[in-house]
Each structure stands twice: as structure tokens, then as C-alpha cells.
A = this chain, B = another copy of it.
Amino acid sequence: MNLNDNVLLADIGNTYFHVYDGSKVEHLLYEDAIGRYKDKVLYYISVNHHLASEIENIALWKNISSLVSIKGEYETMGVDRKVLCLSHDSGVFVDAGSAITVDVVEKGVYMGGFILPGLKVYAESYKSISSVLDIALNKALKLDRLPTTTKDGISYGIIASIKALIDQHREGKTLYFTGGDGKFLSSFFEEVIYDEMLVFDGMKKALRAN
């Protein structure tokens, strides 16, 4: 398998199609991505099972999921988490998308991780409990004092609980963020790296190893 800067890399998630064209990352709707790139060579990973049969029929696209592995991985571990964990030798890797996955890697070995609802899914879940809890996340939330409004009580519950659990697992490791809400979520942490290339860096590493 040839890897050069002309090959397109795609990370097909539950909501968006993320494409790296060698210089920038684009986040597209499925049909837009297929329409635009179906006649180009593209290597992809996908966690979107609904889309599988449609994209498997595209002749120039190749699913590289079977090439992706990390020491310590578990059987049903999502391929998107595996490539993210391959991006750096050690770290805590947070992918904040439809779901928020948090994975710990030490010297190339996967140590385990956990899954939280994505920020939009959190907000939706409160709405399902009561119309009184149907609020938009306060994006300017401060975490330095206990909230005294419903809007802030919900926003704080979401952000501060995610932060508290991630901080518990840092233990001196570098904390990496990626994903659609990665930049926003990372703003509540000290000394972190936000990088939308992490998944593609991991894909490149998996391709080079094969």
C-alpha cells in the first residue's frame, strides 16, 4: 500500500464524514463526501454501520480498518479509538463527537478507557426528563463556583463531571483533544493539546506499519 500526500484519508463517524486531503481536514455530510470524492483514491476507517454497503461498492475507496491494531486493544474497540491511540506513544486521548471517548495509552500500550455521551446528546437527555430542563448549554460557563440557576446547574453538571473524570486519569500524561466539540471542551482544561489531525496521524502510522 502506497502512502503519499495525494491519498485522501477519511474518518467516517456516526454523524460526519471527516476527510484529510493532505493539507486540511473537512467535515462533510455523507452524501456530500461521496459525491465529491467517489472518483478519487481514498483510505478510510468507519464506525458507521449504516453506510457500510454503500461505501464498500466505491471501487477507489479502501477500508483500512483491518490494518489498525494497538497493543492491549479489546475485541470490540472502535477503529476510530484505535487510530487515535496510535497518534502518540503515550497520552490521554479525548475524542469529543457524538460520543466522548477517553482512552489512556502508555508507551504504545492501550490501558483502557471510557465513553461519555457527546455534549449535544447530554443536552438532549435532560430535555427528555422534563421541559423545565430543556436548556442550551451555557458556553461561557465558569467552573469556579457552584451554580444557582437551572441553566448553569445543567451546564455545570455536564462539563464539570466530564472534566472531573478526565482529570482523574491524567497522572502526568499529555492530554490530547480532537473531535467536533474537542476545541470547546479543551478550553475547560489546563495545558492540553487540541489537534484535529490526531486520527489521521494514527491512520498514517497504521498504513506505514503495513
Contact = CB atoms under 8 A, between A and B. Distances in A.
Interface of A: 14, 47, 49, 72, 74, 76-78, 98-99, 101-102, 104, 110-118, 121-122, 124-126, 128-133, 145-150, 153-154, 156-158, 160-162, 164-165, 167-169
A117 B125 contact: yes
A86 to B, nearest CB: 17
A33 B105 CA distance: 53
Contact of A98 (B74, B129, B156): B129
Given A113-B148, A114-B147, 17 more contacts: A76-B132, A99-B130, A99-B133, A101-B153, A102-B157, A114-B146, A114-B160, A115-B126, A116-B157, A117-B122, A118-B129, A124-B125, A125-B125, A146-B169, A161-B162, A164-B165, A164-B168
A149 to B, nearest CB: 6
A14 B150 contact: no
Contacts of A115: 126, 133, 150, 153-154, 157
A131 B78 CA distance: 13
Contacts of A158: 116
B169 A165 contact: no
16 contacts: A14-B130, A77-B148, A98-B130, A99-B126, A101-B153, A112-B146, A112-B148, A113-B147, A113-B153, A114-B157, A115-B153, A116-B157, A116-B161, A117-B126, A164-B164, A164-B165
Which of A47, A130, A160 gathers the greatest number of chain B CB atoms within 10 Å? A130
Given A99-B129, A129-B121, A113 B146 contact: yes
A153 B78 CA distance: 12
Contacts of A116: 157-158, 161
